[in-house]
Chains A and B, each alone.
Chain A
């Protein structure tokens, strides 16, 4: 199936989960990454079970925060 990851179209296997995509994309420190699918944010505890669909638009965003 075809999905878009960070603006790039990619061919991936059917049934790919978000967790598998994170490994495939070599995302650094995934525990601090927020994932949006088709502009909707998904909960981090669903990465293992969330199965991507053909045509999905995936973005990885690093949490950006800090303190004084």
Chain B
């Protein structure tokens, strides 16, 4: 599946991730599905990591609920979430895979491991516990 992200949203994610260092930053992504199945992200939600940790993140359920209602009110589809890895690469960790419980979701990871070379990737994760399959999605930033 192809994912399209606007440059301005990429920049907002990057700034949010950078502002939250050393903690992981997180949020949600939403948008419209194009005829060919491409997911065009038109709204990125910058939310609080209630774990306030450099090793974990949890999205505040109240903010999550408010974002879902905002998406619905604006005719957007919930696509999934994003979070940052301040110190590690842009790939799902074992914990990321274990907690990726929505097989319809897109999971984006913004790595700040190398300060001058941020990396954002999108993944699809599915399967049962212990047998998760990870597929890197095509990501186009426009």
Contacts and interface: CB of A to CB of B under 8 A. Distances in A.
Contacts of B55: 67-68
B106 to A, nearest CB: 12
Given A7-B72, A34-B61, A36-B65, A66 B101 contact: no
Chain B contact-residue range equals: 20 to 34
B64 interface: yes
A66 B93 contact: yes
Interface stretch (B10-18, B31-39, B83-91, B134-142): B83-91
B100 to A, nearest CB: 7
A62 B65 contact: no
Contacts of B101: 28-29, 32, 62-63
A45 interface: no
Nearest to B49: A65
A68 B26 CA distance: 12
A48 B103 CA distance: 25
Nearest to A8: B72
